Amino acid sequence: MRKVSVNLLASERRAISGLAGLYASRMLGLFMVLPVLALYADTLSGATPLLVGVALGVYGLTQALLQIPFGLLSDRIGRKRVIAMGLVIFAIGSIVAASSSSIFGIILGRALQGGGAVAAAIMALLADQTREQIRTAAMATIGLSIGVSFAIAMVIGPWLAAWAGLSGVFWFTAGLTLVGLLVLWRWVPVAPRRVRHRDVGMDRQQLKSVLSRPDLWRLDVSIFSLHLVLMAIFVAVPFRLLDAGIAVNYHGLAYLAMMGVAFVLMVPLVIVGEKKHCTRTICLLAIGVIAVSLACLGLPVTGEPWLFAWLLAFFTGFNLLEALLPSMLSKLAPAGAKGTAMGVYSTSQFLGAFLGGTLGGWLSHQWGLDAVFIGAALLALAWWLMMWGLPAPAPLSSEVVALHETRPDALELLMTRLAEVAGVEDVMVVPEERLAYLKVNRQQLDRAALTRLLTPPGSPNT
């Protein structure tokens, strides 16, 4: 049977573009500070390397604590209200940081920025606005927007700081947030319904089973470690560029060159990993490259070319893992538990950012910049050893299909028959949502048999 393509509705286009833009602009504001805060810390009273590290990563702590409560609150009072509330908190945090002349004010502002934890609510609203057939592609758009925002932040953060100072970066972020409020209320359509989506939101009943899976917590530890080393080294990377003779005004160009080449190197590896079903091998390679590059960055700098080579290797590995880890999580998560698994994964990411900034600042304060890279390299080595035990994920994909029957006896029979379809590896039927969550091997899937089971009686055969 030929698979019929699904065209986007006008409301879905507006929802995807608007919410992806909201997510990206928020992450842009958080990331723009990374390449500049350490350089401008001497203009802040009370600044020490440790406190600079805390300021870099503290948003991760408040984000980790509040993202799940905000997501649950959006189920009760409405997605747009919670997102608007989070954006206002984020804007207040940006203004507090922009108005501060001390490192403690910056820490408070960054903590408030993280307190606008609307990631889960944005994803839930996107799920409300999209049909099951295109939801996976819509979520992938959000993921792509995060990667793009990180690359853009690395480039425009230094340029903006050189022109308007550190406070200018935060004022720009506050302005972006206010524009985001307009987009939310004027561009993003009103959701036709508000439903709890197991492929997007957290289900507390599944939390224990997700946390007890060794393959899933290895991925949680991976994203934790990835963002830990990222935050840690940005206590030191800007000074490495200065030591190499690159003026602050040109740091944006340096990051632009490295991120551009890293993207070009990363894309073929992602394609090979997915096509050849060797994502585990590619991930081990990426972690190994990160460990080696960090160790080499901890050695005395021998010249600008080597500095660029090791930073390029790090960013290539970082971008590669940012793309592959969510894909692996999607393959390994049980049917109907993807949203819960992603919630734990995201919380791990934010905790890693917090501890990474703090650890990087502490290492720099105690033993200098070289210790930051050496410490991060040792952690990456331990991470590589831990990931060695991860089994290769099966080439599975998640599918969500609508049900035409909700009688308990009929649903039990439907589950049995769905599980018997060739290529269907796992099934969860949720009557109250009128949905079935499937894990399928697309290469082996008998889509004609699946379509026959899910087609209402009397409907024309397509």
Same domain, 250 and 135: no
Same domain, 287 and 376: yes
Tokens 């842009």 -> residue: 28
| Residues 206 and 336 sit within 8 Å (Cβ to Cβ) | yes
Same domain, 287 and 433: no
> Which of the given ranges, 180-194, 315-329, 426-440, has the highest pLDDT on average?
315-329
Same domain, 375 and 439: no
The per-residue pLDDT for 40 is 94
Single residue among 367, 395, 423 that ends a domain in this structure: 395
Q: Give per-residue pLDDT as tens, 204-239.
A: 777 777 888 889 999 999 999 999 999 999 999 999
Measure the CA–CA gap between 264 and 221, rounded to whole angstroms.
Answer: 27
Residue with more model confidence, 337 or 123: 123
Whole-structure pTM value: 0.89
What would you report as the CA-atom Rg of the chain, rounded to the nearest whole angstrom?
23
Same domain, 258 and 312: yes
Same domain, 149 and 290: no
The per-residue pLDDT for 193 is 65
Same domain, 326 and 364: yes
The per-residue pLDDT for 4 is 42
Measure the CA–CA gap between 55 and 48, rounded to whole angstroms.
Answer: 10
- Provide the domain limits for residue 389: 208-395
The number of folded domains in the chain is: 3
* CATH assignment of the domain containing 218: 1.20.1250.20
The per-residue pLDDT for 459 is 58
Single residue among 364, 395, 426 that ends a domain in this structure: 395
Same domain, 163 and 186: yes
Instruction: Report the candidate in 16, 22, 38 with the shortest Cα–Cα distance to residue 126.
Output: 16
Q: Give per-residue pLDDT as tens, 390-433.
A: 888 878 877 777 776 666 667 777 778 888 888 888 887 777 67
DSSP 90-134: HHHHHHHHHT--BHHHHHHHHHHHHH---HHHHHHHHHHHS-HHH
Does a structural domain hold residue 198?
Answer: no
Same domain, 390 and 440: no
